[in-house]
Amino acid sequence: MKMNKSASKMITRTLGAIALTSGVAAASVASNQQLLESKVDSANAHRGLEVTGAIRGIAQASYVNTDQDPYGKATMPDVERNEFVNADFNFGFRPWESVRANAMLRLYAGMQDYFAAAAKIIEVPWLNVEGQIGNSFYWTVGDFRQQYSPLTLFNPDVDVLYEPTIFARQRHMAEKQQLLEGNQRNLQGANLQFRHGLNDVLGEIRVEGMFARVNRAQPLDFSGAEGNILPNETIAGATQASNTDKFVLAGNLELFPLKRNAYVAATAMYIFDNEDSKTVTYRHPDNDPNASLEDEEGNVIVETGYYRQEAINPFDLSTQKTLILGGRFGGDVAGMMGNSKLILDATAELALSSNDAYVIVPMVNEDGDIDSYVAINDPENEGVSGVGFNANLNVGYTGDSWKLKVSADLVFNDSAWFNNLAQSPKFFAQRVLNSDYDGNTVKFGINSPLYTTFDALYNFAPKFSPVTASMKTDDNGFKKHLDSYDFAPYSKNSYSSTVYSQAQLELLAAMADPAIQMVLPNGLATANRQGLRANVTFDLSDWLEVQGLFGMFSQTSPLAGLSAVDYTDFGGGLKVDVFKALGFSKPLEISGSYRHTERSMDASDGSGTAEMKTDFINAGLYVQYLPRLGFTAGFQMVNMEMNDMQQLYSAAQFANIATTAPMVTGKQMQWMVGLDYSLDKNVWLSLNFGMVSVENTYNTTISSMLGGNAVNLPVYADASLAEFTSEFTQTVVEASINVEF
């Protein structure tokens, strides 16, 4: 809402509209668009205060149930309740017409800190100042969002084909909680843009310069859930603590000639760790407050309480120096022909990376045991060159009431290609509901006993206080804290705009969910991939949409011990609005989809092929039977299957982190129904009830060979069996409100 006088605002907009009308009547098509944009900017550039925002609230209870624990070996809570209300207020202060300050004030109240006023959250997660110089220069200092292209600056997301509305709303809330917008990255720094329309032939030119910080030197508690991928683990990538500040310096040039029907662009990016900001800290050796200091002869110098100087992140001593050079070109042939019904356009992108590689070095103690795995720069592989290439083609035709479109993507990214500002995934699977029930194993994500794809995709808790392993409050009791996190509250959410390091990306690859991240876990910028994918979409009068997809990819350089690694991805689905087809104004949408992905890996020695197959099924219903009241329903199922060789590979891939019992077959099923009151697409109040059912069969023989105590088996599992089938259900009752204004 605008807080300056409404009469003045109405007069201003009326005069602006008259000016626009007269200008449009006298100008060419290209000039019309430029004039329209400049007048709209001018109409909105008046001094005053603008307030927008969002209110999100969830009251949720989740109950775990299993018939496999008759003796009550699982002692952690099997019920979790989350209740919170989150209010985001975006204040836009414009003291002058050409300058604007933006601040988001976030107010939070949760059930777990209801009686603790000092524990309530009041923060400013977004703050910037932006301005305009003339009609062509724009600048921003502070927080901002940006994306260039899939190979340069991008935040790759997971794709669920025809996702049911009842689940899509949950994912929307989880992403908005993290301040995410599409595939844009959240950055902090300075951004300068020049945008100017030239003429019909040269079109428009856009030049941008950007300098932003993507990480900073700051000590973090290795036992905390916040800031750590794997709390209390001594391997490279386990913690996100950084020894130095990390920055990106970028320049981007885009030209849209031929009335914006052609496209030429170039991007240069330099991502680097500022070694001048390198910082150290002091810790007890191995975090043991009773550690003593001895001299070379074994004499005790300090009996207890000894501190020693360490790197902030002693498990990743590598520094990043990455140069990205990219070029893009394309054209809308149909636009050049002046044919509004034809769809014919293509783009291509080539990017080169130069990056200092790293190696993982095992650190051995006096007894010959490995204490940790540390990442250091590889002096023999400095400035390693990599290549990434993408090409996209869209062909189709639009009739009077229908549209047919075929899209194809060609991908070739070699194994040395690296750009963490394009490869860092938006989604990293986390355990959310009933996380306490998994105890010390919750940190292992997809390899924790109660993990489901649906939980990671759709649930979140902005501030969750975990239970303790011991109810004692003395020092000895607190020593028994969990290995997965310390007692401090933390946020449970699988979505972020985090830029990960090389070691962290390698760790995430071992913890990716194969049901949704098997083929291109890092989007079109995924390294070591080549192949083609195609998508066919048919749309009829906006009430019927049918889609089919197919993709085939392989690794450009198969991993060690493998001669070939191939990926296959195919599926299809449809969405029908029955009421719209019958001429009614309210929707009755029915949707469904099926998607199959598989991976095959041939051993170099000819010993066999490792195969993993997954199926993802969706079905959804949304109907409004009164002006604002509606009914939603959704069903999802994930099936997974691994052959014997894949089971061995899965256990070996995670072995340096923890022992796991590889999955033989897995079946996850989720259904949910709800009533809602909706005012707009992103304004609703809903009451939902649902259930998740899981039946996973594990090969316990392999985990026993690796030493037993598999982290992905529940505490009541019978490891004496060759295979153990874990069965449990989660019943979820929730009420949610989402208002964006």
Q: What is the pLDDT of residues 58-87, one digit of tens each?
A: 999 999 999 999 988 888 899 999 999 999
Q: What is the pLDDT of residues 204-229, one digit of tens each?
A: 999 999 999 999 998 888 888 888 99
The encoded tokens of residue 421 equal 């500002």
**What's the pLDDT at 3?**
40
List the one residue out of 614, 575, 574, 617 whose CA is nearest residue 594. 617
What three-state secondary structure class fits 110?
Answer: strand
The encoded tokens of residue 572 equal 């299809």
Q: How far apart are CA 405 and CA 556, in angstroms?
A: 30
**What's the pLDDT at 25?**
32
List the one residue out of 628, 641, 636 whose CA is nearest residue 697. 641
pLDDT of 22 higher than 50: no
Supply the Cα-derived Rg of the chain in whole angstroms: 28
**What's the pLDDT at 12?**
40
Q: What is the pLDDT of residues 415-450, one digit of tens each?
A: 999 999 999 999 999 999 999 999 889 999 999 999
CA angle 346, 266, 31 (to 5 degrees): 70
Q: Are strands 48-65 and 137-146 parallel, antiparallel or unpaired?
A: unpaired
Burial of 157 (0-12, 13-18, 19+ CB in 10 A): middle
pLDDT of 295 higher than 80: no
**What's the pLDDT at 478?**
58
What are the two backbone dihedrals, phi and then psi, of residue 422, each rounded to the nearest 5 degrees? Answer: -115, -20
**What's the pLDDT at 2?**
36
State mean pLDDT over 619-642. 95
CB 226 within 8 A of CB 490: yes
Q: How far apart are CA 241 and CA 438, in angstroms?
A: 25
pLDDT of 558 higher than 70: yes
Of 40 and 567, more confident: 567
What three-state secondary structure class fits 295?
Answer: coil
H or E stretch covering 605: none
Q: What is the pLDDT of residues 584-612, one digit of tens each?
A: 989 999 999 999 999 999 999 999 999 99
- pLDDT interval class at 113 (50, 70, 90): low
Share of the chain above pLDDT 70, in %: 90
- Residues contacting residue 646 through CB under 8 Å, at least 6 positions apart: 601, 610, 611, 612, 662
Q: How far apart are CA 119 and CA 246, in angstroms?
A: 31
Share of the chain above pLDDT 90, in %: 74
- pLDDT interval class at 38 (50, 70, 90): very low
**What's the pLDDT at 15?**
32
Q: How far apart are CA 542 and CA 371, in angstroms?
A: 60
Scanning the structure block, which residue is given the tokens 């300075």? 190
**What's the pLDDT at 88?**
96
CB 178 within 8 A of CB 184: no
- pLDDT interval class at 110 (50, 70, 90): confident
Q: What is the pLDDT of residues 646-698, one digit of tens each?
A: 999 999 999 989 999 999 999 999 999 999 999 998 999 999 999 999 999 99
* Average model confidence (pLDDT) across the chain: 89
> pTM for the complete prediction?
0.89
Q: What is the pLDDT of residues 132-154, one digit of tens each?
A: 999 999 999 999 999 999 999 99
The encoded tokens of residue 284 equal 């007890």
Of 278 and 21, more confident: 278
Of 451 and 482, more confident: 451
The encoded tokens of residue 49 equal 């205060």
State mean pLDDT over 558-578. 96
